[in-house]
């Protein structure tokens, strides 16, 4: 009986040692497995500079370059533009001047000269008196063409304009479709002797006197005398 108990006790002890050994091996296996998982996770962790980063930087650089080119590009030309023949003149008080130039039409439609209007601004009204001449003779300005040299406007200088002064005037064009040109600035320097106002010519005075003479002769009719009648 004693030996049987000893055998059972020995068997139980051996079983416990085997369980401890198996537990240790399981713990070691779990530790190794954890280390392997940790190592694998580190290997799969994204790099601070992944391979696609340079591609994104290149795209950003391309976008910045495109924006730079866009903002540095010159503004598109106006659909209408005035090209003056002369921008600056010297005139005496009481003189007059006709501005000539060309009109460039980029509106996408043919335009008549009567469909373009000039606007005058930023000038001394007491010294300069401009009015439009463009459209006095009708002609066509085709799309994407430049007109022939034509009269644009006329300006009169006041007879009492002070000499030795310079004035400016801004002019821009607008058409019936709502297109505008850029502003063109003209300069006027007042100098020289005043231009005398022309007196009426002698011929119109003579013609007026002759007409008055004929009218007076028609009113003064001679008295008719009938024969056979005696007075008294």
pLDDT of residue 78: 83
Mean local confidence (pLDDT), 56-82:
64
Q: What tens digit of pLDDT does each residue of 188-217 get?
A: 999 977 665 555 555 555 566 656 666 655
pLDDT of residue 192: 77
Could you tell me the pTM of the whole model? Answer: 0.54
Cβ pair 95, 197 in contact under 8 A: no
Reported CATH class of domain 80-190: mainly beta
Partners of 101 in beta bridges: 84, 150
Closest residue by Cα to residue 161 from 110, 195, 184, 134: 195
Residue with tokens 């002609």: 139
Q: What tens digit of pLDDT does each residue of 93-126 get?
A: 999 999 999 999 999 999 999 999 999 999 999 9
Report d(CA 136, CA 138) in Å as an integer: 6
Report d(CA 222, CA 232) in Å as an integer: 22
Instruction: Write the CB contacts of 102 (distance below 8 Å, at least 6 apart in sequence).
Output: 82, 83, 85, 146, 147, 148, 149, 150
Report d(CA 43, CA 41) in Å as an integer: 5
pLDDT of residue 231: 47
- Which residues in the chain are classed under CATH 2.60.40.10? 80-190
- Least confident among 8-12, 137-141, 149-153, 189-193: 8-12
Token readout for 36 is 């392997």
pLDDT above 50: residue 73: no
pLDDT above 90: residue 82: yes
Mean pLDDT of the chain: 77
Closest residue by Cα to residue 167 from 118, 120, 123: 123
């Amino acid at each position: 009986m004693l030996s049987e108990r000893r055998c059972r006790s020995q068997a139980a002890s051996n079983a416990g040692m085997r369980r401890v050994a198996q537990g240790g091996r399981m713990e070691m296996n779990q530790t190794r497995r954890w280390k392997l998982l940790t190592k694998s996770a580190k290997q799969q962790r994204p790099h601070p500079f992944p391979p696609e980063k340079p591609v994104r930087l290149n795209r950003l650089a391309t976008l910045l370059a495109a924006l730079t080119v866009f903002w540095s590009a010159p503004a598109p030309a106006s659909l209408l533009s005035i090209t003056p023949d002369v921008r600056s003149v010297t005139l005496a008080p009481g003189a007059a001047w006709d501005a000539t130039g060309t009109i460039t039409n980029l509106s996408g439609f043919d335009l008549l000269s009567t469909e373009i209007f000039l606007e005058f601004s930023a000038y001394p009204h007491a010294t300069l008196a401009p009015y439009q001449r463009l459209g006095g003779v009708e002609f066509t300005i085709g799309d994407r063409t430049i007109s022939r040299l034509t009269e644009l406007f006329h300006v009169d200088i006041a007879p009492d304009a002070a000499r030795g002064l310079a004035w400016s005037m801004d002019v821009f064009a607008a058409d019936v479709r709502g297109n505008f040109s850029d502003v063109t600035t003209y300069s006027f320097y007042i100098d020289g002797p005043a231009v005398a106002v022309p007196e009426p010519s002698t011929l119109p005075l003579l013609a007026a006197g002759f007409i008055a003479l004929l009218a007076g002769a028609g009113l003064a009719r001679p008295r008719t005398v009938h024969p056979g009648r005696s007075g008294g």
